[in-house]
Chain A
Amino acid sequence: MPINKKAKLVYNVLELDKLEQKPTRDGYGLGLVQAADENPNIIALCADLIESTRTENFAKKYPDRFIEMGVAEQNMASVAAGLSAVGKIPYITSYAMFSPGRNWEQLRTTVCYNEQNVKIIGSHTGVSVGPDGATHQAIEDIAITRPIANMQVFAPCDVWEAQKTTYAISKIDAPCYVRFAREKTPVFTTEDTSFEIGKAQVFFEEKSRLDVAIIACGPLVHNALLAAGELEKEGFGIRVINNVSIKPMDERTIIDAAKDAGAVVTVEEHQVAGGMGSAVAEVLAKNFPVPIEFIGVQNRFGESGLPNELIEHFGMGVKEIKEAVRKVTNRKNNYKI
């Protein structure tokens, strides 16, 4: 299997049934404590969701550095801006529907334009939130954070990367938004997998021939790997890129993928409009246009259901990724650049 050994993924990355499963929000909880242990200026604010956002461990360990905000996300964003103005590094946590959803203008004006070092932690993104239904399934959060100047945006793929992202953003002086997921998802990277702000990583690469590059982010990176594994058996050459750093984006790696493969499929648990795929399309349209297929939610709201059945229902399953690869391959062959 053409798994990129340099990525140091788990050895049995494609054996879904054997992989440990953990939610990425757990990684946030771990990364926050890790960062806070080193830096006393790190504080956390939460809008009545400390257990489900995994802010709880921090709140227990550092009660004097934790502020319970109640159900008041707009206030939380601007209070954090004020705390940053006097030297603190606040992590603000809620479901992504409410932060950055409900408090978008406060994030734009009082955090980003005001150049305050606030970290926005959005839990419960994607339709995989499941039974709670569409009101709590954030599928527009990348689209609303990405265009704000000064804001950086990340979508980690598993619990390890979630922890590393949470820790890494504490080291930079900039507003950052990180999206996390509620549901348990495969743990397929390891402690040794590298993470760097502004870098995408190649997780899977067929060296002998390359037909399509799949550029994915979040837990769906694992679906992209499963699709690549199956397509490989059918004779396709696939490169899978984990595009965790949506802004700043690793343009070099994205452009090289387009040049090498000549066709791209983007995969994200987010609206296709304005998401990570849109950001990839902006880079490629300017630098090296190739046919692109976009896997994501197609201008619909989510609904209640089991996480996996919703992923498939909304067209983000392994089958749909494989279909998109076939389709984009045909387009590439029919429209020579």
Chain B
Amino acid sequence: MSHLHEEKLKYLEEMAAKIRFDTIESVINAGSGHIAGPLDMADIFTAMYFHVLKHDPKNPNWTERDRLVLSNGHICPVQYTTMAHAGYFKIEELKTLRQFGTRLQGHPHRSALPGIETTSGPLGSGLSQAVGMAIGFKMNNAKNQVYCLMSDAEQQCGQTWEATMLAGKLKLDNLTAIIDRNNIQIDGMTEDIMPLEPLKEKYEAFNWRVLEINGHDFYEIINAVETTKAIFEKPVMIIAHTIAGKGVDFMEYQYPWHSKSFKPEEAKETLKQLRTLQGKIKSEHE
């Protein structure tokens, strides 16, 4: 991983825009699936697969690879799309999302698709698995880094804090977790449903180092991950502040778009906004 220069930044931003579009197209095509989370995590997934991760899409079982554990499996459409663009499989396969016989299961299944590190969906168990991997690498004196991507709502799961406590106890400095702090969950806003704040202080109290970033700023995402390399004897939590539904004006900050079926006109408008970056590209033809 290296620092960002202008050219790479432009490449990442364009890639993230493509990934947003292809992700939502695949969900529309599937007829169901989650929307807001995949849109707001597109920048972080892009940064991970196109800059941060040590990985080889042509050799997904490479033993030296970093491990990316997606804990909130329901946002998998954005992971599938990012993996396709990174070269794990052909982009056409995104059309099979959620269809019978697909490798792209509604929630990700490790054995179905090489490159998926854990089967996930039920919230709150990803961090535990990432902790297990980090312990295993420490036991073997291996240098692999473990990343765990989590939702904010799964901070309401008791198991998350069991894992947090263990990672703090064992000083797992080969573990970095990233919370998608988009403030929404199925029934409403997190602070109305079950308040999470002060989230930073909670993790600090469990002996983690905590960084807070704008989850849509590639400089901040990549600098934060870079910073974790210089933190020893503690696991690191990156709280990434994101905008739910990022990229589609009528979805942003709107919890009902956590997961919802598209009406035909909504689908058309969504794809138009994602294609033109919310109308910034004026030459769009209808």
Give the residues in chain A near B109, CB-CB below 8 Å. Answer: 113
Residues in A neighbouring B128, C-beta threshold 8 A: 74-75, 77-79, 81-82, 106, 110
Question: Which chain A residues lie closer than 8 Å to B131 at the CB level?
Answer: 75, 79, 82
State the CA gap A69–B170 with chains docked (Å). Answer: 11
Residues of A within 8 A of B69 (CB): 82
**Which of A67, A74, A87, A109 is B135 in contact with, Cβ under 8 Å?**
A67
Chain B CB within 8 A of A43 CB: yes
Cβ-defined contact, A106 with B110, below 8 A? no
Q: Contacts of A77 on B, CB cut-off 8 Å?
A: 128
Q: For window 230-262 of chain A, which residues contact chain B by CB distance below 8 Å?
A: none
B113: interface (CB < 8 Å): no
Count of A-B contacts with CB under 8 A? 101
Q: Report how far A75 CA is from B170 CA in the complex, Å.
A: 14
Residue pair A83, B132 in contact (C-beta under 8 Å)? yes
Kindly provide the distance from the CB of B129 to the nearest chain A CB, expressed in whole angstroms. Answer: 4
* Interface pair A82/B159, CB less than 8 Å apart: no
Return chain B residues, CB-CB under 8 Å to A64: 139
Decide if B162 is an interface residue (CB 8 Å cutoff).
yes
Q: Kindly state whether residue B136 has any CB partner on chain A within 8 Å.
A: yes
B144 CB, min distance to chain A CBs, angstroms: 8
Contacts A82-B133, A109-B119 known; A115 to B110 CB distance under 8 Å? yes
A77 to B142, CA, bound (A): 23
Q: Does B163 contact A (CB under 8 A)?
A: yes
Q: How far in angstroms is the closest Cβ of chain B from A71?
A: 9
Known A-B contacts A85-B133, A110-B129; A72 and B166 likewise in contact (beta carbons under 8 Å): yes
Interface residues of A in 103-132 (CB under 8 A from B): 105-106, 109-110, 113-115
Given the interface contacts A113-B109, A113-B119, does A85 sit within 8 Å of B132 by beta carbon? yes
**B136 CB contact (under 8 Å) in A75, A86, A106, A109:** A86
B139 and A65 contacting across the interface, CB-CB below 8 Å? yes
Name the one of A78, A83, A86, A87 contacting B125, with C-beta atoms under 8 angstroms.
A78
- Does A80 touch B at the CB level, under 8 Å? yes
Residue of A at shortest CB range from B118? A114
- Alpha-carbon distance A64/B140, docked complex (angstroms): 11
Residues of A within 8 A of B120 (CB): 109-110
B87, CB-defined interface residue at 8 Å: no
Knowing A69-B166, A79-B128, A113-B109, say if A74 contacts B158 (CB, 8 Å).
Answer: yes
- What's the Cα separation between A85 and B110 when bound, in Å? 10
If A72-B166, A74-B162 touch, whether A79 touches B132 (CB-CB below 8 Å) is yes
In the complex, the answer to whether A110 meets B166 with C-beta atoms within 8 Å is no
Cβ–Cβ < 8 Å partners of A75 in chain B: 128, 131, 159, 162-163, 166
Given A75-B159, A75-B163, A109-B119, A82:B132 Cβ within 8 A: yes
- Interface members, chain A 90-110 (any B CB < 8 Å): 90, 105-106, 109-110
Closest 7 CB pairs of A and B: A82-B132, A78-B128, A75-B162, A86-B136, A82-B129, A72-B162, A79-B132
Chain A residues close to B by CB (< 8 Å): 43, 64-65, 67, 69-70, 72, 74-75, 77-88, 90, 105-106, 109-110, 113-115
Ordered by A's residue number, 16 sampled pairs between the chains whose C-beta atoms are within 8 Å are: A67-B135, A70-B162, A72-B159, A74-B128, A75-B131, A78-B163, A82-B132, A82-B135, A82-B136, A83-B132, A85-B132, A85-B133, A87-B140, A105-B122, A106-B159, A109-B120
